[in-house]
Amino acid sequence: MSMTQRPLILIVDDNAENLQVLGDLLQPHYRVRAANSGERALQLLALDPLPDLALLDVMMPGLDGYALLEIIRKEPRSAELPVIFVTALGATEDEERGLERGAVDYITKPLRPRVLLARVAAHVELQRARAVLRQQNSDLEAEVVRRLQENERLRDVSIQALARLAETRDNETGNHLLRTREYVRTLAMRLRELPRYAEELDGPAIDLMARSAPLHDIGKVGIPDRILLKPGKLDAEEWNIMKTHAELGAEAIEQAERDAGSGGDLAYLRYAKQIARSHHERWDGSGYPQGLAGEAIPLAARLMALADVFDALSSRRVYKAAWTAEAACELIVAQRGRHFDPEVVDAFLAEFEAFRAIASRYSDVDTDIGAV
């Protein structure tokens, strides 16, 4: 509806004299389209622009006013069009019938020009106010979406920055972070097919788990270089220090939660904390740092455990050659029910080719962690 042009009124009456009277009254103030039947009115309603208001006669041959209004209300394009019935029918039940079917007003003949113009003006202004409100709501919704997208982008950039910080102190590549992120996503999407995981692994949860995965080793920033970068095997004391990276990472994320307070959606930090602390736990309880077993280990961490081990085995490191995907798969299968959740291993086997494709796509050539 244009706010710079005069409002457009559609008048519908099978009597040419009535159309003439209505047109003469309205044209000094409005643009007018006239139809001498319900069928012709539908043709005019298909044209742009849509009228601001329609005045319908009730008693017409063929498609009468009530039937025409029913069609108008069913069409998405015209569903909100205000309609006033203009008719010689004066019984209360006729007026109620029209209002119940969606008319906004009911004017009886013979017409009183001032009354007609006053009611038309009131409904036109109301319709224009509604149009302004709808546009404002649409603009507000668009702004909310933009802000949400901006917040999600800032969240992802923050995750990437923190993950890169850990990466600068480790001998793993940025593509390790990309691969494990996609491995986690792939496993979660497969597990979602099991009824007992359908609710826990909805679309947003899977996305947050995957996007939080790069923070799994953020605690390594607190491990001394002499241990973190040692090319050979760690001794017992060094290994005990290395294992503290899980708690260090979780504690750092917990502090971030406290700093953020209660406002906003911090679900991604919850998943990041679970992954950082518990991705070295084992299904049989022999892992660290808490010795959790079975489903006491958060699901996000159980997914990350397999993703991390598969990538560590199948990637080259300064201290080892890369295993083949098949060899890594054999070890993971051998650890089903020991190191790894059996259902997660089953999901891995079902998605083995997808794992191979991810490993190929994010081989250690391009290290852009921002790639999707």
Over the stretch 339-349, which tens digit does the pLDDT of each residue have? 999 999 999 99
- The token duo for 114 is 């001032």
Residue 26 scores a pLDDT above 90? yes
Q: What is the pLDDT of residue 368?
A: 42
Q: Percent of the chain, pLDDT > 90?
A: 52
pLDDT of residue 333: 97
pLDDT in tens, 240-257: 999 999 999 999 888 877
Q: State the alpha helices, DSSP H only, in the chain.
A: 16-26, 38-45, 65-74, 92-100, 113-168, 174-191, 203-212, 225-228, 236-243, 245-260, 267-278, 299-314, 325-334, 342-350, 352-361
The predicted model gives 307-330 an average pLDDT of 88
- Asked if pLDDT for residue 369 goes beyond 60, the answer is no
Interacting residues of 189 by C-beta distance below 8 A, sequence separation 6+: 201, 206
Residue 2 has pLDDT above 60, yes or no: no
Task: Classify domain 8-139 at the CATH superfamily level.
Answer: Response regulator (3.40.50.2300)
pLDDT > 70? residue 282: yes
Q: Measure the CA–CA gap between 188 and 348, rounded to whole angstroms.
A: 10
pLDDT over 70 percentage in the chain: 86
CA distance linking residue 342 with residue 350, whole number of Å: 12
pTM greater than the 0.75 cutoff: no
CA proximity to 105, closest of 58, 71, 46, 67: 58
More confident residue, 321 or 153: 321
pLDDT of residue 120: 92
- For the chain, the average pLDDT equals 86
Q: Does position 5 have pLDDT exceeding 90, yes or no?
A: no
Domain edges within the chain:
8-139, 169-361
Residue 163 has pLDDT above 90, yes or no: no
CATH number for the domain running over 169-361: 1.10.3210.10
Q: What pLDDT does 94 receive?
A: 66
**Letter for the amino acid at 65?**
G
The region of weakest confidence among 32-46, 251-265, 339-353 is: 251-265
Q: Is the pLDDT of residue 372 over 80?
A: no
Give, in order, the Cα–Cα distances in Å from 347 to each of 124, 192, 296: 61, 10, 19
Q: What is the pLDDT of residue 139?
A: 85
Q: Are strands 83-87 and 53-56 parallel, antiparallel or unpaired?
A: parallel
